[in-house]
Chains A and B, each alone.
Chain A
Amino acid sequence: MAAALTADFSKAFPGGTVVAAELRLETDTAPVTVLFGPSGSGKTTILRCLAGLERPEVGDIRFGDQMWFDAAVNICLPPQQRRIGYLFQEYALFPHRTVAQNVGFALRGTRPARQARIASLLGLLDLDGFAARYPRQLSGGQQQRVALARALATDPQLLLLDEPLSALDAPAREPLRRELRRVLSGCGIPTLLVTHDRVEALALGDRMLVIADGHIRQAGPVHEVFSRPADLAVARTVGVETVIPGRVIAQADGLLTVEVGTARVTACDPGGVEGDVFLCVRAEEVIIERGPLARMSARNHLNGRIVAMNPEGPLFRVTVDCGFPLAALITRPACEDLALAVGEAVTAVVKATSIHLIPRDDLVRRRAV
């Protein structure tokens, strides 16, 4: 039996809200799965049900061959028996205990063994020298790392992270996002991460589940879900844009050259981006050209053929295969003027500033100062 977390349950709240989840997490490959959705869509409820902090009314939850919850036979393992690491949104550090006591809170074994484990976790999360501090004496980012160290301490078989970065202010988020990615891919523990932040989802997730109105609407690799939403509800939730994996191959004068599929594009360097990236382009910002090009300021002129045209209200979503599929939103009169049709050769024009890069590299990392 393949190791996986499978869940199919629903929980009703007074007032008529129902949160339903049908999901499957492969746990032998240990990827990070992002549970993505707007605030109030039921993400945290799903996480709490998986942790055993809430009890669904119907359905079941299994982890590998362990039955965690089964409404039919009235089984509901308490959180203590699920061996999970849960990271709360506001971290929930014990205020009456120091950093070391927080991290070692649930550790068993001899005192030297516990201290060694605490020291190695503090080292892993860059918290050396903070062991004797109280949570109140730490910054938000440091608290987050302590909470993560505490969740990792007991060697959980599943990590559940509830909006791990949302309690931080924007400047602190970027370096911590990389740190989190490094720790998550390094520890090899299957992870379900809840977020409503698309950059967080793209930067941290391998796979993605989109939830809207209390139901999981789509599951798949992160960039696929972003590029090809299954229905309108998902499209509204994720915000439509082209998201394609690429690789930075050159850097000069604040500009990066990124290899995407068979094409090369130029993008602005947001700083510290190297190696693997996700390249994001909003369809509104792509221009379609035919015929000889005038001299333009836009850096990217991508030749390709139209592979799809889908009407969207007064607009057409035109997908061009220019070494990778790129979507453009074009008005109807513009389509008629240019006589656009599937199979026609066109040039897609994108400004370097319209290309957003999200770093995906785990190996090369830089400390933000």
Chain B
Amino acid sequence: MDWAAITLSVQLSTWTTLALLVIGMPIAHWLAFSSWRWKFLVEAVVALPLVLPPTVLGFYLLLALSLRSPLGQMYLKLTGATLPFTFQGLLIASIVYSLPFAVQPFTAAFAAVDRRLIEASWSLGVSRRATFFRVIVPLARHGLVTGMVLSFAHTLGEFGVVLMVGGNLPGITRTVSISIYDDVQALNYSTAAQTSLLLLVISFLVLAVTYALQRNLRTPWLLH
């Protein structure tokens, strides 16, 4: 079994999930509470990775990360390294690819928080920022957990974007799904079967543990 690929995929998924928690919450907060009339355009952009073929998304990301783009140039100046076919480049691509899987549950959870609770906190003199962390986040935590789990699982299984942006460098960008593809191409069916089974078990365990936790998290105020 290609343990390097498995480790890499788990690392990529973990970092992507953490990054999406940090990036996704402000975007979701804005989407949930803004009344800007053109908001739907931002919503459409956030949801694009859901419908675009991974190859199309990967192609644009490759262009955006290349040395000809401002982003690639900036990264080169800051770090002296390039992004395509590196773990960092892959991470950026994964964040974009899984963005809707984090932002949409986050937004739905934020929007479901009773507006009066937020206003009650403000009128008690608690700042907007503190209200976000002390009222909105605790009440939206189920949605936050759901978004994180979906991001993790989605990144774990990504294939097309990885191939376009990361290529197939063992230990650097060869993720578990590419490793399985390679094994099948090389007719190593038994290795492919083992890795596939492992991925299946990991995915199932992550989801099962999350749903179990969500159930146990129901503290008295959620019981009728």
Max chain A Cβ within 10 angstroms of own Cβ: one of B122, B128, B138, B223: B122
**Does the CB pair B221–A105 fall under 8 Å?**
no
Number of A-B residue pairs at CB separation under 8 A: 71
CA distance A56 to B46 in the complex (A): 34
Interface residues of A in 70-127 (CB under 8 A from B): 78-86, 88, 90, 92-96, 105-106
For the complex formed, measure the closest distance between the CB of A152 and the CB atoms of chain B, giving whole angstroms. 11
Give the dominant DSSP class at B's interface: helix
CA distance A312 to B184 in the complex (A): 96
**Does the CB pair B138–A96 fall under 8 Å?**
yes
CA distance A363 to B23 in the complex (A): 58
**Does the CB pair B114–A92 fall under 8 Å?**
yes
**Does the CB pair B221–A135 fall under 8 Å?**
yes
CA distance A153 to B135 in the complex (A): 18
Interface residues of A in 274-319 (CB under 8 A from B): none
For the complex formed, measure the closest distance between the CB of B117 and the CB atoms of chain A, giving whole angstroms. 5
**Does the CB pair B122–A80 fall under 8 Å?**
yes
**Interface size grouping (class) on chain A:** 20 to 34
Given the known inter-chain contacts A88-B116, A95-B139, please indicate yes or no for A51 contacting B123, CB distance below 8 A. Answer: yes
Residues in B with CB closer than 8 Å to A94 are 117, 120-121, 135
CA distance A90 to B120 in the complex (A): 11
Identify the closest chain B residue to A80 (Cβ).
Answer: B125
B219 within 8 A of A: yes
Identify the closest chain B residue to A54 (Cβ).
Answer: B119
B: residues with CB less than 8 A from A are 114, 116-117, 119-128, 134-135, 138-139, 219-224
Can you report 6 residue pairs joining A to B where beta carbons are below 8 Å apart?
A84-B123, A85-B123, A88-B116, A94-B121, A94-B135, A106-B121
A: residues with CB less than 8 A from B are 51-53, 78-86, 88, 90, 92-96, 105-106, 134-137, 150-151, 153-154
Known: A85-B123, A95-B222. 14 other contacts (CB 8 A): A52-B122, A53-B119, A78-B122, A79-B119, A79-B123, A84-B123, A85-B124, A86-B120, A94-B120, A94-B135, A95-B139, A134-B220, A137-B220, A151-B124
